[in-house]
Structure 1
Amino acid sequence: MSKSIAIVGGGPGGLTLARVLRLHGVDAVVYEREPSRAARGQGGMLDLHVDSGQRALREAGLEAEFHAIARREGQDMRLLDHTGALLLQEDTPDDAPLARPEVDRADLRDVLLDSLPEDAVVWGRAFRNATPRPEGGHTLHFADGSTAVCDLLVGADGANSRVRPLVTDARPFHYGVNYVEMAIPDIDRAHPELATVVGRGTYWVMGPGQSLSAQRNGDGRVRLYLGFHTPADWFATCGVPFDDPARARPALAELFAGWAPDVTALIRACDDTVIQRPLTMLPVGLTWPATPGVTLIGDAAHLMPPVGEGVNMAMLDALELALALAADPGDPAAAVARHEKEMFERTAPVAEMCLRITEMMTAPDGAQAMLRFFTGR
């Protein structure tokens, strides 16, 4: 394929797309807004599923690298209600298959970056907009004043995609859930008693209108996600001084007064990481008419509630788009149109499932609803 491909966004989806295209002899350039691969932390853990995220890595020739970073024990889970009653405990045997192992986001990104030549990713290019070219394709405009041209533009730039307006007017909407992300570094040394509480994987406590999940990372850090079933303006109206972590921690712990003591102990043990995350999603079943020279993958195309499917769908989107383009080098527009149709059909039921799970989690009996979900009762 002689046509040039530009990928906006250097997350798992964009990097997987670039990697698989290059395996098939198709060059692509990834434009990433961060100034370097080490510019910031990449967040917590991801569980990669056999038939989606893991499949993408296998077909990208990175299965051995995946096994080197996968944490089998990260599949462990403990589900409790807000009184501290243990409802479900799943411990992963040492010889268990890697059905949904956890990987650090940073480790996954490093694996994908290391599989690409250095010139495949252009750092420090914050995409602003694109204008159609008379001869086809687009001119890309970046925040630093630079430009680039391409025949096919792929938006892999996440929830707040700047590429998305080229194909649809749809925008993410808040669906009544807000998260606060916190962290306990080096929990085994600093708080061994809490390390025992959390275990090796995910510790999940659910109560009326709120939840806490604690997830162990490969570097010994535990990330906490406090969930609040509240409107979009909650961060501004709740009275928690988010700009002052030393005061925010006790204020957040107070919101869990009356819950099991381990919950408030975990919150008080956190460091100064206090990140506000209002949760949004795109309409389930979003589609758009085929648009010459541009397409979307991942959260840019089908942002879902975060219940473990987003990164898997993004990497599968990337794999299937790359294979479609490689199979039809003479007609990339037709390849993109076929891929989009298949992506719409594949991801709509997944997004619907994610929304149903979120509705269960936010129900008055959320803990029991999730117990029934996990046990099939």
Structure 2
Amino acid sequence: MKMRIAIAGGGLGGLTLARILHRHGIDAVVYEREATRSARTQGGSLDLHPESGQLALAEAGLAGRFRTEARPEGEEHRILDPAGRTLVHHRPQPGSFSGRPEIDRRALRDLLLDSLPGDAVAWQHRLVAATPRPDGGFELTFDGGHRADCDILIGADGARSVVRSLLTDAKLSYVSTVVELTISDADRRHPDLAELVGPGNLWCVGVSQILAAQRLGDGTIRVGISLRAEDRDLETYRSKRALLDLFEGWDPGLTALIEAGDGTPTPRRIEAMPIGTRWAHQPGITLIGDAAHLMPPVGEGANQAMLDAAELAGELAANPADPDSAIRAYEEAMFTRTHAIAEMSARVQAMMLSPTAAEEITRFFTPRPSEPAPAG
């Protein structure tokens, strides 16, 4: 394929797409707004699902590298009530990769970056506008005034996608608030909390609120507080004291996760796109990942973004003479696949922040006698 392909966004979806295209001999340029790969932290860890994220890495030829970086023990998942009583405790098979092993987002992104040619990513290129050209393709304008042309534009630019606006006017809705803290060097500085969290994920579930913690590969603990969407200034959540007040009456061994956090808490609003969002096919342009189907963060976002990338790359490689037919085929399959997943994600999000969340989550994560426990 001699067409110029531009991928807006160097997250997991955009990089997976570039890598699989590269394996098929198809060049693409990833335009990434960050200045370098280490310009900011990449968040916590995620569990890669065999049918989506792991499948995409296999298509990328990176399954072996993934196994060297992933942590099967990170699948361990405990759910407690506010008094610290264990409701669910899922222990993975030691050393087994048959489930959904955890991998740090930073490690996964580095794995993908290292698999690409050095000129495949144009750093410090934040897309601000994409203008259709009269003869087809798009003129891209970046922050600072730099411009580039492309024949095919793929929006992998996340929740606030610039490319999305060329295809749909779908509006985001506010579904919850998350407040994040980090506890660095937890094994040495807070061994009691390191033991509490264990090697994987811990959820402490109350009435319409969750206090969660996650172990990263470097021993850092990421703490996340999930709250229902409400009309409150986010600045009120930057105070540990205000957060501790929200969890008044909880076991002090649990709220110690908030007290031990390094620095100031970081709050953010969680948004989602309307379930079933579609757009009419347009030549030379499409979306993947959060740009296409932003969902509540219940474990599917990165996995679906990577699967989008694998399926789009596969269609383009199979039909290089007619990229528009390839894009159309990808979109129809993606719309069908993600509709059910978006519905499920919304149900899980509502369940997790419901007044009866502890009972509902316990039922959800307690396997029937013949079933394995679902991964967190």
TM over 0.5: yes
Distance 2:92 2:188 in 1: 23
**1:338 maps to amino acid:** A
Within the alignment, does 1:291 sit opposite 2:282 as a pair?
yes
Distance 2:95 2:219 in 1: 22
Q: 1:255 aligns with which of 246, 255, 258?
A: 246
**2:77 maps to amino acid:** M
Q: Contact conserved, 2:126 with 2:143, CA < 8 A, in 1? A: yes
Within the alignment, does 1:277 sit opposite 2:276 as a pair?
no
Gaps of 5+ in 1: 243-247
Q: In structure 2, do the counterparts of structure 1 residues 192 and 295 end up closer, same or farther at CA, with 3 Å as the change threshold?
A: same
- SS of 2:262's equivalent in the other structure is coil
Q: Deviations over 1:113-156 (max 9, x none)?
A: 00000100000001001111111000000011001100110000
- SS of 2:46's equivalent in the other structure is strand
What is the Cα deviation at residue 376 of structure 1? 4.5
Aligned twin of 2:324: 333
Q: 1:268 aligns with which of 240, 250, 259?
A: 259
Q: Deviations over 1:22-50 (max 9, x none)?
A: 11010000000001111111111111001
Within the alignment, does 1:25 sit opposite 2:25 as a pair?
yes
Aligned twin of 2:201: 202
Aligned twin of 1:356: 347
**2:103 maps to amino acid:** V
Aligned twin of 2:99: 99
Distance 1:127 1:300 in 2: 14
Distance 1:199 1:25 in 2: 43
Q: Which runs of 4+ in 1 moved over 2 A?
A: 95-98
- SS of 1:272's equivalent in the other structure is strand
Distance 1:273 1:329 in 2: 50
What is the Cα deviation at residue 231 of structure 1? 1.4
Aligned twin of 1:76: 76
**2:221 maps to amino acid:** V
Taking structure 1 as the reference length, the TM-score comes to 0.95
Aligned twin of 2:216: 217
What is the Cα deviation at residue 73 of structure 1? 0.6
- SS of 1:118's equivalent in the other structure is coil
Aligned twin of 1:36: 36
**1:293 maps to amino acid:** G
Aligned twin of 1:152: 152
Q: In structure 2, do the counterparts of structure 1 residues 304 and 279 end up closer, same or farther at CA, with 3 Å as the change threshold?
A: same
Total equivalences in the alignment? 368
What is the Cα deviation at residue 173 of structure 1? 1.1
Distance 2:58 2:130 in 1: 33
- SS of 1:264's equivalent in the other structure is helix
- SS of 1:135's equivalent in the other structure is coil
Distance 2:35 2:96 in 1: 40
Q: Which piece of structure 1 moves more, 117-126 or 248-257?
A: 248-257
Gaps of 5+ in 2: 369-376
Distance 1:343 1:260 in 2: 44
Distance 1:314 1:168 in 2: 18
**1:355 maps to amino acid:** A
Distance 1:94 1:374 in 2: 20
Q: Quote the RMSD (CA, aligned, Å).
A: 1.1
Q: Contact conserved, 2:234 with 2:268, CA < 8 A, in 1? A: no
Within the alignment, does 1:366 sit opposite 2:365 as a pair?
no
Aligned twin of 2:374: none
Within the alignment, does 1:61 sit opposite 2:61 as a pair?
yes
Counting only pairs closer than 5 Å after superposition, residues 173-184 of structure 1 correspond to structure 2 as 173-175=173-175, 177-184=176-183
**1:168 maps to amino acid:** T
Counting only pairs closer than 5 Å after superposition, residues 232-243 of structure 1 correspond to structure 2 as 232-236=231-235, 239-240=236-237, 242=238
Aligned twin of 1:245: none
Q: Which piece of structure 1 moves more, 307-316 or 222-231?
A: 222-231
Aligned twin of 2:373: none
What is the Cα deviation at residue 254 of structure 1? 2.1
Distance 2:11 2:192 in 1: 35
Work out the percentage of aligned pairs sharing the same amino acid: 52
Q: Contact conserved, 1:154 with 1:296, CA < 8 A, in 2? A: yes
Q: Deviations over 1:276-331 (max 9, x none)?
A: 12110001111000012110000000000101000000000000000000101111
Distance 2:362 2:124 in 1: 45
Q: Contact conserved, 2:182 with 2:262, CA < 8 A, in 1? A: yes
Distance 2:13 2:153 in 1: 14
Q: Contact conserved, 1:72 with 1:92, CA < 8 A, in 2? A: yes
What is the Cα deviation at residue 234 of structure 1? 4.4
Aligned twin of 1:307: 298
Q: Which piece of structure 1 moves more, 91-100 or 120-129?
A: 91-100
Distance 1:228 1:350 in 2: 22
Within the alignment, does 1:344 sit opposite 2:335 as a pair?
yes
- SS of 1:19's equivalent in the other structure is helix
Distance 1:375 1:291 in 2: 45
